[in-house]
Amino acid sequence: MSEVVIQLNGVSRSIEVPPDETLLSVLRNRFELTGTKYGCGEGQCGACTVLVDGKAARSCQMPVSEAAGKAITTIEGLAPAGKLHPVQEAFLEAEAFQCGYCTPGMVVAAAGFLASNPNPPREEILKHLSGHICRCGTYPRILVALQSAAAKMKKTP
Amino acid sequence: MSTPETDLDREILEHEVSRRLHWFDVDRRKFLQLLGGGLLVCARSRTARGQESGRARPGERELPKEMSAWLHIGRDGKITVFTGKVEMGQNIRTSLAQQIAEELKCPVEGITLLMGDTERVPWDAGTFGSRTTPTMGKQLRAVAAAAREKLIDLQAEHWDVDPSTLTAAGGKIVDAAHKRAAPYGDVTFGKNLIKDVPDEPRLSPASDWKVAGTSVRKVNGPDIVTGKHLYTSDVTRPGMVYGKVLRPAGFGATLASLDASAAEAISGAKVVRDGDFVGVAATDLYTAERALAALSAKWDLPAAISNKELFEELKKPQPSGDRNEPRVSGSVEEGMGNAAVKLSRTYTVEYIAHAPLEPRAAVAEWKLGVLSVWTGTQRPFAVRDELAEAFRIAPDKVRVFVPDTGSAYGGKHTGDAALEAARLSRAVGRPVKLTWTREEEFSWAYFRPAGVIEVSSGASREGTITAWEFHNYNSGPAAIATPYTVANQKIQFHPSKSPLRQGSYRGLAATANHFARESHMDELARELKMDPLAFRLKNLADPRLKAVFEAAAKSFGWGKRKPGPGRGFGIAGGVEKGGYVAACAEVEVEKSSRKARIVKVVEAFECGAVINPDGLRNQVEGSVVQAIGGALFERVLFEGGRIVNPKFSSYRVPRITDVPSIEVVILDRKDLPPAGAGETPIVGLAPAVANAIFAACGVRVSGLPFLADGVVREEKRA
């Protein structure tokens, strides 16, 4: 057990955990932030994606000790004041989900990606999301959502 | 086994649902009091036919006039609808609410659907077979219409006016003449009222629909994009611990010895053993995983075949003989004798996995002799019965809750995780959460059946099919009948002993049977030197199927445009579960490497009157994408009683980069009753792509998946 301090959705949080427990497990089972999902445990599906210092990362592949001192943003932290993130709005508009289980990971990944790539060409979006699985097959809508979110974010920086 | 009499009976048999249709009587008056009074409207079950024909076991209640759905309007005006159907991404929470809103004349937002809670909702066989729209949708429309009429009658009595002068609109009973209105919540005047739905309720025709028939947004969409929605794996209970189950070394393995000392020495962990079932429960997931890893077990493994012997194995004659009689009309021998062109071909289908992104999970809690289980299943009542049987308690001591689930595709009919969580919970005396790992999901769930399909056919020189013989080994009988007009046919399903645990999958065997049939139709057309579309239309009488073929062909530009170099066009279609589908595919095959990719797909779909056009498009697009997996790369590899590729890194599913241009053409037939749409749109893609591959490079692919090794291979043909 060791004490780990992370900046979780803007708030400094301290916890006693085994240092090799995954960030995913700590988020879900210790902080009860269940919006971040388990999908495969091998970094292949993207359901567990969170932002670490603003960059998308697979929380199932990251020991919590590696997250120490870093800023972690989960899906719960994307719309802090209740105002939806442009990516969330775009997913709703395009109805880019069916069962919705992959959606938090997709949304967080997209938010991180668009923050550093304000005007991505189609191929870049596809490449960036190729590590995310939507088993319901809503990929065409996810692409539309990202394109419209990108346009929206450009207008209101 | 008795012959199925209705589509629903057949559906239930095909999905292996237990025929023990229990009914535990709910005292409706008590139930209404529990709901806080108001108006309760009940629909009689139309699924009781099986019991009436004497299939119920002695001592079990029959349910001919029991309830299949009910709607409650509280004194606060809150509308709650109770159904045993469950939401797993097919969007019925929204589409059912739309249909209720349409008949009850109230906003969609004012309706809450309580789904899949076995203590609160009427018995239901399960959410499968595309039955929700044609059966539950229809029943809920009837319930809502009956509620509307009852509200009008009550208010007319109160105002002392003729009911025909009143209307229902916006959640109120409106008296236009006297410029007054009463919200639904006020209409019951504190009385507790129960009404049954009449046999012939007055329903609005689809041509008059204002709310049904429109693209209402998914009702809980905001919860999904914000991560607020609680799936089973997100449910927590006070004092809950985490469970893990020790999996055998292979299928059918028996436990020879177990050393649990290292695991038991871990603080916070407890080992549970019950025969060959071994599990652990621990205060946190990390400790549970550590304790599981510390278990040391020896297993005795039975001999098992591998993929290499699969198709040979499935063709082996079964000791009991073929249970299913062939469906025969005319004489195939005669039809073959008259044929100018004859063709015999074999097609194969590998096992594939559903791989729902939310793996099987359950939270179980025992309290005062009652077992409560939260789990993602398509059959909450069957899981309830499974649990009751396993723990030898009365089914009314088990309550199953099904949170809206992270997809299923036919893969969540059983209660495996629920049983495991409940067993662990009983042993440790605390609520237990158990979530399967991806590897467990790939290994210990069940698969879409593999199969071998043999087709022989004959046609006249003019392109009329004269004989059709079709044998399906193991993959299943769904959509086995040909929709083409053939005087002489013999069609038979041969059950086999499956080496792997197999079961339902989106569309069941309709994908395999359409793949074989529509590939074969393409081969016949080419032998006859006819255009594949013209050949199909010549042999088709069904106007609805013709219409989707023509619609897909028109949007695709079939016959109007020519494929570029290295590219080919393919077409395929069919009908299943009341849905009509046709797909056109454009495929590119690199000449030297034989690498292939799907460039474009146009799919036309017709399922009667459309309830939610955008929701339907979403289903059709998703079906096309999911079908790409089974067509091109998905297959379960097994050897020595184990799954060899139980991970997303070794079991390839469609990615966003695999998605071609997809165009969906919806034919909205407002004159026809709505059919389900969650399954049938998946069946057309594989044969359309196989046919396009042939057109592109002259190689006939006859085994699903086509690109298991990444390239189109020359195949030996039977």
A110, B107, B151, B189 from B104: Cα distances, Å: 40, 9, 10, 19
Residue B265 to chain A, least CA–CA distance (Å): 17
B277, B336, B484 from B262: Cα distances, Å: 18, 70, 65
Q: Which helix (H) or strand (E) holds B523?
A: helix B510-527
Render pLDDT for B213-242 as a digit per residue (tens, 0 to 9). Answer: 999 999 999 999 999 999 999 999 999 999
Which sign, positive or negative, has the C-alpha torsion B282, B283, B288, B294? negative
Peptide bond into B122 cis (omega under 30): no
Whether this model's pTM surpasses 0.90: yes
**Which residues lie below 8 Å from residue B461, measured CB to CB, with a gap of 6+?**
B340, B341, B528
**Which residues lie below 8 Å from residue B440, measured CB to CB, with a gap of 6+?**
B245, B247, B359, B360
B20 interfaces chain A, CB cutoff of 8 Å: no
Pick the residue from chain A with its C-alpha nearest to B90: A98
A36, B251, B397, B678 from B311: Cα distances, Å: 41, 19, 45, 29
pLDDT score of A17 more than 50: yes
Strand segments, DSSP code E, in chain A are 2-8, 11-17, 49-52, 55-58, 71-73
Pick the residue from chain A with its C-alpha nearest to B232: A34
pLDDT at position B718: 47
Q: In the 8-state DSSP scheme, what is residue B600?
A: E
Residue with tokens 């079990």: B60
B409 interfaces chain A, CB cutoff of 8 Å: yes
Half-sphere exposure of B165 (CA within 13 A, CB side): 14
Residues on chain A touching B233 (C-beta within 8 angstroms)? 34, 37-38
Render pLDDT for B182-200 as a digit per residue (tens, 0 to 9). Answer: 999 999 878 888 888 887 7
Residue B10: band (very low, low, confident or very high) from pLDDT cuts 50, 70, 90: low
pLDDT at position A57: 98
**Which residues lie below 8 Å from residue A49, measured CB to CB, with a gap of 6+?**
A36, A56, A57, A58, A59, A104, A105, A106, A108, A109, A112, A132
Residue B6: band (very low, low, confident or very high) from pLDDT cuts 50, 70, 90: low
- Report yes or no: B523 and B534 within 8 Å, Cβ to Cβ: no
What angle, rounded to 10 degrees, do the helices at A139-155 and A86-94 form? 140
Residue B622 to chain A, least CA–CA distance (Å): 4
pLDDT at position B45: 59
Contact A44 B230 (CB under 8 A): no
Residue B620, SS3 per DSSP: helix
- Report yes or no: B467 and B460 within 8 Å, Cβ to Cβ: no
Q: Which helix (H) or strand (E) holds A122?
A: helix A122-129
Residues on chain B touching A102 (C-beta within 8 angstroms)? 357
pLDDT score of B57 more than 50: no
Contact B656 A126 (CB under 8 A): yes
Render pLDDT for B348-388 as a digit per residue (tens, 0 to 9). Answer: 999 999 999 999 999 999 999 999 999 999 999 999 999 99
pLDDT at position B8: 52
Contact A136 B626 (CB under 8 A): yes
| Percent of chain B whose pLDDT exceeds 70 | 92
pLDDT at position B31: 76
Contact B358 A140 (CB under 8 A): no
The mean per-residue pLDDT over the stretch B70-77 comes to 89
B4, B473, B475, B563, B651 from B449: Cα distances, Å: 22, 10, 5, 35, 17
pLDDT score of B48 more than 60: no
Residue A34 to chain B, least CA–CA distance (Å): 6
pLDDT at position B25: 42
pLDDT score of B716 more than 80: no
Contact B226 A88 (CB under 8 A): yes
Contact A34 B234 (CB under 8 A): yes
Q: For residue A40, which phi and psi values (nearest 5 degrees)?
A: -150, -25
Distance between alpha carbon B318 and the CA centroid of its chain, in Å? Answer: 29
Q: What is the DSSP string of B106-130?
A: S-GGGEEEEESBTTTS-----S-TT
Q: Retrieve residue B402's tokens.
A: 């099904």
pLDDT score of B13 more than 70: no
Residues on chain B touching A78 (C-beta within 8 angstroms)? 226
Pick the residue from chain B with its C-alpha nearest to A100: B224
pLDDT at position B50: 36
The mean per-residue pLDDT over the stretch B520-538 comes to 98
Distance between alpha carbon B707 and the CA centroid of its chain, in Å? Answer: 26
Between B192 and B82, whose confidence is greater?
B82
Residues on chain A touching B649 (C-beta within 8 angstroms)? 42, 44
B647 interfaces chain A, CB cutoff of 8 Å: yes
- Report yes or no: B152 and B104 within 8 Å, Cβ to Cβ: no
**Vertex B396 angle, CA B391 and B397, to 5°:** 50
Residue B717: band (very low, low, confident or very high) from pLDDT cuts 50, 70, 90: low
Q: Which range has the worst mean pLDDT, A93-102, B73-82, B245-254, B540-549?
A: B73-82
pLDDT score of A141 more than 60: yes
pLDDT score of B404 more than 70: yes
Render pLDDT for B287-343 as a digit per residue (tens, 0 to 9). Answer: 999 999 999 999 999 999 999 999 999 999 887 665 688 999 999 999 999 999 999
User: Which of B462, B450, B576 minimizes the C-alpha distance to B518?
Assistant: B576
| Percent of chain B whose pLDDT exceeds 90 | 84
Q: In the 8-state DSSP scheme, what is residue A157?
A: -
Interface test with A, best of B363, B656, B657 (most A CBs within 10 A): B656
Q: What is the mean pLDDT of chain B?
A: 91
Residue B18: band (very low, low, confident or very high) from pLDDT cuts 50, 70, 90: very low
User: Which of B560, B558, B557, B549 minimizes the C-alpha distance to B604?
Assistant: B549
pLDDT score of A106 more than 50: yes
Contact B654 A137 (CB under 8 A): yes
User: Which of B129, B162, B524 minimizes the C-alpha distance to B340?
Assistant: B524
Which positions 206-235 of B are in contact with A (Cβ < 8 Å)? 217-218, 221-222, 224-231, 233-234
Between A55 and B199, whose confidence is greater?
A55
B653 interfaces chain A, CB cutoff of 8 Å: yes
- Report yes or no: B83 and B121 within 8 Å, Cβ to Cβ: yes
B403 interfaces chain A, CB cutoff of 8 Å: no
Bridge partners, residue B447, by sequence: B353, B502
Render pLDDT for B678-689 as a digit per residue (tens, 0 to 9). Answer: 999 999 999 999
Q: How far apart are CA A28 and CA A38, in angstroms?
A: 9
pLDDT at position B33: 78
A·B CB contacts under 8 A: 162
